[in-house]
Amino acid sequence: MSQKPTYEELEYKVKELEESEKKYRHLFETAMVGIYRTRISDGKYLAANQTLAELMGYDSVDQFVAEYVASKHYTDPKRREELLHQIQAQGRVDGFEIEMTRTDGSIVQMAISAAADLEGGYLEGVAIDITKRKQAEEALRQSEDKYRTLTNNLNVGVYRNTAGPNGRFIEANPAIIQLFGYDSREEFFEASVSDLYQNPDDRKKFNKKILQKGAVRNEALQLRRKDGTSFTGSVSAVAVKDEEGRIKFFDGIFEDISDRVNLEAQLQQAHKMESLGTLAGGIAHDFNNLLMGIQGRASLMLLDTDSQHPFFEHLKGIEGYVKSASDLTKQLLAFARGGKYEVRPTDLNEIIQNGSEMFGRTKKEITIHRKKQKDIWAVEVDRGQIEQVMLNLYVNAWQSMPGGGELYLETEKVVLDDDFVRPYDVDPGKYVKVSVTDTGFGMDKATQKRIFDPFFTTKEMGRGTGLGLASAYGIIKNHDGIIKVASKKGEGAVFSIFLPASEMEVIKDIEPASEIIKGHETILLVDDEDIIIDVGKELLRQMGHTVLAAKSGEASIELYEANKGEIDLVILDMIMPEMDGGKIYEKLREINPDVKVLLSSGYSLDGQATEILEQGCNGFIQKPFDMKELSQKIREILSSE
């Protein structure tokens, strides 16, 4: 039989219970998390600590317990049903997330852990305020959504790949998958990073650089698509490291810069051609002055030499050589974009028909096919220069088909948009397109890059000047047009020309004079070259004119001032030291607004000469010229009102 506890023992146990309850209550009241007991039936709080009361917006626990009923303050009542369902099934919940409304109407997010006394009909548990955590999670989610939206919408490829020589992609946006020609993310992730590089050594060099520097910016490389085709890409990447400094993975971007590289190459080519053109133009100008002297002397000698004279054929031969040399300088000037001589609205169909018929009669081994669009737009061009362009293209095609072949010529009306014309520095709009297609041996890419360079030729030494296509390029560019070539080795070539359309009516050519036209006027000849002054004076005298000569701008102004009542015409050189033709013309007009001036130059009718003509200058003649040409120009000007 057990002995009953003594009074002292009972008193001690009571004190222990009181101490335990005191500790529990202190813990309950000062805990940093909300502690509560609620009825399961209606959510009425039976007990709560100060932390929970303050969390729900109350100053005192008593007021909170008296007023606040949990079941009425769920922002989503269905969540309480889910809570009760889990408790009934499991007897407890852990970390169950809910949203509750505070007394001021604001929302608090909580994670609840609770156990149920189903017989007693109540829940006991803790509630942790996770509002800030959820806000941070939402902010992170929004940030990730923005990042994902941004990367998914970028037109450059964004990626992450594992480190090491056999790196694999672990992140990729849609642009990079499309860029490399894969069908899905899964298929792309199966590829190795090395598979995307055309040259394996490029991948090794890139890895070495990023390992040394930690980041690489805008590295231009040849990349490879899934189908094996290559393109020029720009790669930028950064090495992402862990806390111990070890590389975890690489983040970066791939960008297709093929168009930009091609445009830069075209601009470099244009700058190179412009520089070469300046040099070629200067050479042609000086050479034309020399040819003028030779032509003039030959013309003067032929005046007193009949066809029976033993030197007659030699002199005619000299004139022929001068003409050939002049044609060569014209090609140089054409390449140099030295200008258009006589621009008038022209029918390209007529040029194609007449020129190809004449060419076809001499090259019967070539079969020519023509497809000309009816009612083709007119183009404002120098007919002679465009005829030269077409002849150069015919000859180029013929030389690429030594055993004979097919030559296809086509004209059509086209409208070019901004994207098409941007690399060529011309305006969008209506153009007439001429295509010249041959079935010759074609060209590789290296040859195509140089095909319009002056003096470049694929022929044997001494078999060509390399100026034909160069002059064609210059002529078309100077007409604000486009010339381009497409070819593959063994598959022939297609040259395409685009010339701006004109609204003007086509004007027929004027037949040149067949004889020297004489006169008795007084002419002032202005040129700084002795050879031009000497031969020019004699040519004009032989035509019957009285000649005054000046070798500088200042001397010409003084002579004209002193003889303005007698001088009928001024033949003015455009390029002169100290005072050029434009300045001299202005001074002459100040003396006599009705002065008649024939502009002369070893250059062609380029920008400066055109400006002088637009100011009222009466005409232009290109050196070297013969007596017939000069006499006709003089008579045209003197006969005009």
As a CATH number, domain 154-256 is: 3.30.450.20
Query: In the block, which residue shows the tokens 């600590």?
Result: 49
What does the buried/exposed string (b/e) look like for 11-42 if buried means 16 or more CB atoms within 10 Å of the residue's CB?
eeeeeeeeeeeeeeeeebeeeebbbbbbbbee
As a CATH number, domain 343-502 is: 3.30.565.10
**Under CATH, which architecture does the 522-639 domain have?**
3-Layer(aba) Sandwich (3.40)
Domains 261-335 and 522-639 share a fold: no
pLDDT by residue (tens digit) across 454-509? 655 554 433 344 466 877 888 888 889 999 999 988 889 999 999 999 988 886 65
Helix (H) or strand (E) holding 29: helix 7-30
For domain 261-335, give the fold.
Helix Hairpins (1.10.287)
Residues 6+ apart with CB under 8 A from 8: none
Distances (CA, A) of 634 to 539, 561, 618: 12, 21, 10
DSSP 292-342: HHHHHHHHHHHHT--TTSTTHHHHHHHHHHHHHHHHHHHHHHHHTT---SS
SS3 616: coil
Is 348's pLDDT higher than 90?
Answer: yes
Between 381 and 447, whose confidence is greater?
Answer: 381
pLDDT by residue (tens digit) across 401-429? 988 899 999 999 999 998 888 888 899 99
Q: What is the pLDDT of residue 407?
A: 94
The end-to-end CA distance of the chain, in Å, is 155
Token pair listed for 269: 């080519």
Contact 250/163 with Cβ under 8 angstroms? yes
Q: How far apart are CA 539 and CA 549, in angstroms?
A: 13
pLDDT by residue (tens digit) across 250-260? 888 888 888 78
Query: What distance lies between CA 429 and its chain's CA centroid?
Result: 18
Q: What is the pLDDT of residue 307?
A: 77
Between 13 and 611, whose confidence is greater?
Answer: 611
SS3 586: helix
pLDDT over 70 percentage in the chain? 84
For residue 98, list its beta bridge partners. 110
Q: How far apart are CA 312 and CA 301, in angstroms?
A: 9
Token pair listed for 305: 């030499």
Q: What is the pLDDT of residue 460?
A: 43
- State pTM to two decimals: 0.46
- pLDDT, the chain, mean: 83
Nearest to 109 by CA among 117, 101, 118: 101
Q: How far apart are CA 326 and CA 334, in angstroms?
A: 12
SS3 122: strand
Q: What is the pLDDT of residue 494?
A: 94
Is 282's pLDDT higher than 50?
Answer: yes
Q: What is the C-alpha R_g of the chain?
A: 46
For domain 20-130, give the fold.
Beta-Lactamase (3.30.450)
For residue 390, list its beta bridge partners. none
Residues 6+ apart with CB under 8 A from 29: 49, 50
pLDDT band for 228, please (50, 70, 90 cuts). confident
pLDDT by residue (tens digit) across 534-548? 888 888 998 899 999
pLDDT band for 564, please (50, 70, 90 cuts). confident
User: Exposed, middle or buried: residue 510 (CB in 10 Å: 0-12, 13-18, 19+)?
Assistant: exposed
User: SS3 helix, strand, coil % of the chain, rounded to 5?
Assistant: 45, 25, 30
For residue 608, list its beta bridge partners. none
Q: How far apart are CA 78 and CA 138, in angstroms?
A: 22
Lowest mean pLDDT among 17-26, 306-315, 525-534: 17-26
Q: What is the pLDDT of residue 639?
A: 86
Q: How far apart are CA 438 and CA 249, in angstroms?
A: 54
User: Exposed, middle or buried: residue 391 (CB in 10 Å: 0-12, 13-18, 19+)?
Assistant: middle
Nearest to 285 by CA among 604, 621, 602, 623: 602
Q: In this structure, which amino acid lies at residue 147?
A: Y
Nearest to 201 by CA among 222, 232, 184: 222
Residues 6+ apart with CB under 8 A from 481: 426, 431, 497, 498, 499, 500
SS3 478: helix
pLDDT by residue (tens digit) across 355-399? 899 888 888 889 999 999 998 999 998 887 888 889 889 988 998
Query: In the block, which residue shows the tokens 């003649």?
Result: 621
pLDDT by residue (tens digit) across 33-91? 889 999 988 889 998 999 999 999 999 999 988 988 888 889 999 999 998 899 888 88
pLDDT by residue (tens digit) across 319-343? 777 777 776 666 666 555 545 556 7
Mean pLDDT of 86-114: 91
3-state secondary structure 37-92: EEECCCCEEEEECHHHHHHCCCCCHHHHHHHCEHHHCECCHHHHHHHHHHHHHHCE
Domain boundaries, the chain: 20-130, 154-256, 261-335, 343-502, 522-639
59 phi, psi to nearest 5 deg: -85, -30
